[in-house]
Amino acid sequence: MKWSKYNILFKSKKHGYLIYNTLTNALASIEPETYKLFENLKNENLNINDINNNELKTQLVDAKFIVENDEVEFLKLKYAKQKIRFRDDWLGLTIAPTLHCNFACIYCFEKSRPPIYMTDNIEEALISFIKGKNPNNLKLTWYGGEPLMDFKRIKSITKKIKELDFGLHVKIISNGYLITKKKVTQFEKLNIKSIQITLDGMRETHDNRRPLVNGKGTFDKIVENIGILKEYTNNDFNIYIRVNLDKSNENEYNLLFKYLHKRFNFGKMNIYPGFVDDESNSCASTDNCYLDRQQKAKFKINLYKKHGIAGNNTFFPMTSQAECMARGTNSFLIDANGYIYKCWKDINVSEKRIGHLQEDSLNENLLVKYNSGADPLEDENCKNCIHFPICGGGCTYYRLENKFNNGNFDLCYDAKDNLAEYLELHAEIKNKKKNNK
């Protein structure tokens, strides 16, 4: 047995001595004497067999603070992720019933908003595609364009899918402008259990960044429609408010958060930051406004320290064996024309199509790039990094851009250089909640 390389020891000014394992997400408070013992184990000044406390040994093994072999532990993680990649008992589909959109967001990666809507023939081809996969469960996301611009098609497709008689789990990503009571009261019948809507700050800032195509503002209408969602959905329905941030609007996050909290008292509503990336070309080239990894961490830390705003897991890294749709062999994005893609960022980009619903052939060169190219499981830097079980190797799209298109994207997660402070803040939040009960 040996000390796991995924262990992190640190001393918190407020919470004493702590140990954390990135592979298991185990976090424990320890006594000073135990901390010294662990330091000796880490530095190989002490052998596991020299520990006389059998109860402590058992606890360390159970929490995987000590392991037989680090390589074997990594292989277990690799095996779990590969099983998920190649699962065929479920199908993941992101469907854009239309490429049309009523917004003209300044950072939208969909460079054009063509008024293209899915036809009946494409719908039938889509249903045949789903039948051919014959999954036990279908995880479906409505996307766009703006999917609510073709609500009739959403209803038509859903009706036919439900007739196939397998598990159906649905969410929708919408700009929120076209929400009505009539639509919302149909969500339950359509198996829609959650919605993601974007607000980019208070009224003036949001309206400048996310106007209608005619230039008019959208903030007031979206907020009004959030109220409709709160009132006319059941308690199991989740409303996710994404706030797209860069340096130009990061200081408005707390204002928007408090405004929405006061107006709606949260409940089933979750607000979180979504950082705009440098593929959108929304910043002037002479003044890059994107937040880098360290700036994202600083934003989260300051948001809590200055404004007391933090979610349950803002600072607690979550290990995950999940893979994004780009890596999954049974996950696809399908647009209104029937073209098939592997990543949300590729929609309406002709050279990124891997196939078409009405054709049997696939672009295997592109498909294998997404499924296996620039694989973090084969990347020596990732394999040797103690943060890999949390980070997962970063965005597949950007990994491929770095490898095949001379990209220079930072693939690491924001907690990497701030993990001790993140865990200390997590412990502080947890203790506050415990004391307030």
Last residue of a domain, one of 283, 307, 331: 307
- In this structure, the answer to whether residues 96 and 194 fall within a common structural domain is yes
Q: Tell whether the model's pLDDT for residue 162 goes beyond 60.
A: yes
Please tell me whether residue 122 adopts helix, strand or coil conformation: helix
- In this structure, the answer to whether residues 90 and 215 fall within a common structural domain is yes
The whole model's pTM is what? 0.92
Separation in Å, CA 151 to CA 124, 334, 357: 17, 16, 21
Domain count, the chain: 2
- In this structure, the answer to whether residues 252 and 104 fall within a common structural domain is yes
- In this structure, the answer to whether residues 170 and 233 fall within a common structural domain is yes
- In this structure, the answer to whether residues 134 and 189 fall within a common structural domain is yes
Which residues does 71 contact at the CB level (< 8 Å), separation at least 6? none
- How many other CB atoms sit within 10 Å of the CB of residue 277? 18
Which residues does 67 contact at the CB level (< 8 Å), separation at least 6? 1, 2, 4, 61, 73
- In this structure, the answer to whether residues 86 and 54 fall within a common structural domain is no
For residues 197-207, give the mean pLDDT: 97
- In this structure, the answer to whether residues 270 and 126 fall within a common structural domain is yes
Facing residues of 137 across strands?
A: 90, 167
- In this structure, the answer to whether residues 121 and 6 fall within a common structural domain is no
- In this structure, the answer to whether residues 124 and 64 fall within a common structural domain is no
Residue 243 lies in a domain: yes
Residue 31 lies in a domain: yes
Q: What is residue 323's predicted lDDT score, i.e. its pLDDT?
A: 86
Q: Please name the amino acid found at residue 250.
A: E
Q: What is residue 284's predicted lDDT score, i.e. its pLDDT?
A: 40
- In this structure, the answer to whether residues 115 and 59 fall within a common structural domain is no
pLDDT tens string 324-382:
999 999 999 999 999 999 999 999 899 999 999 999 888 999 999 999 999 999 999 99
For residues 66-74, give the mean pLDDT: 93
Q: Tell whether the model's pLDDT for residue 402 goes beyond 50.
A: yes
Q: Which of 12, 1, 89 is nearest to 424 (CA)?
A: 12
Tally helices (H) and strands (E) across the chain: 15, 14
pLDDT band at 112 (very low <50, low <70, confident <90, very high): low
Q: What is residue 430's predicted lDDT score, i.e. its pLDDT?
A: 83
pLDDT band at 287 (very low <50, low <70, confident <90, very high): low
pLDDT band at 317 (very low <50, low <70, confident <90, very high): confident
Structure tokens at 74: 């990594």
Q: What is residue 192's predicted lDDT score, i.e. its pLDDT?
A: 98
Share the mean pLDDT of the chain: 91
Q: What is residue 286's predicted lDDT score, i.e. its pLDDT?
A: 36
Residue 378 lies in a domain: no
Residue 372 lies in a domain: no
Last residue of a domain, one of 38, 68, 98: 68
For residues 220-246, give the mean pLDDT: 95
Q: What is residue 320's predicted lDDT score, i.e. its pLDDT?
A: 73
Residue 408 lies in a domain: no
Residue 406 lies in a domain: no
Residue 222 lies in a domain: yes
Structure tokens at 25: 């997400």
pLDDT tens string 2-41:
999 999 998 888 888 999 999 998 888 899 999 999 999 9
Structure tokens at 381: 């830097």
Phi, psi angle pair for 284, to nearest 5°: -65, 140
- In this structure, the answer to whether residues 264 and 191 fall within a common structural domain is yes
Which residues does 350 contact at the CB level (< 8 Å), separation at least 6? none
CATH code, domain carrying 264: 3.20.20.70
Percent above pLDDT 70 for the chain: 97
Helix (H) or strand (E) holding 10, with range, is strand 7-12
Q: Please name the amino acid found at residue 300.
A: K
Which DSSP string do the residues of 146-198 spell out, in sequence order?
-GGGGHHHHHHHHHHHHTT-SEEEEEEE--STT--HHHHTTTTTTTEEEEEEE
- In this structure, the answer to whether residues 121 and 245 fall within a common structural domain is yes
Structure tokens at 82: 């590969």
Q: What is residue 109's predicted lDDT score, i.e. its pLDDT?
A: 63
Residue 331 lies in a domain: no
Last residue of a domain, one of 254, 280, 307: 307
**Least confident interval from 77-91, 142-156, 272-286, 406-420:** 272-286
List the domain range (segments joined by +) for residue 18.
1-68
pLDDT tens string 256-281:
999 999 999 877 789 999 998 765 55
Please tell me whether residue 422 adopts helix, strand or coil conformation: helix
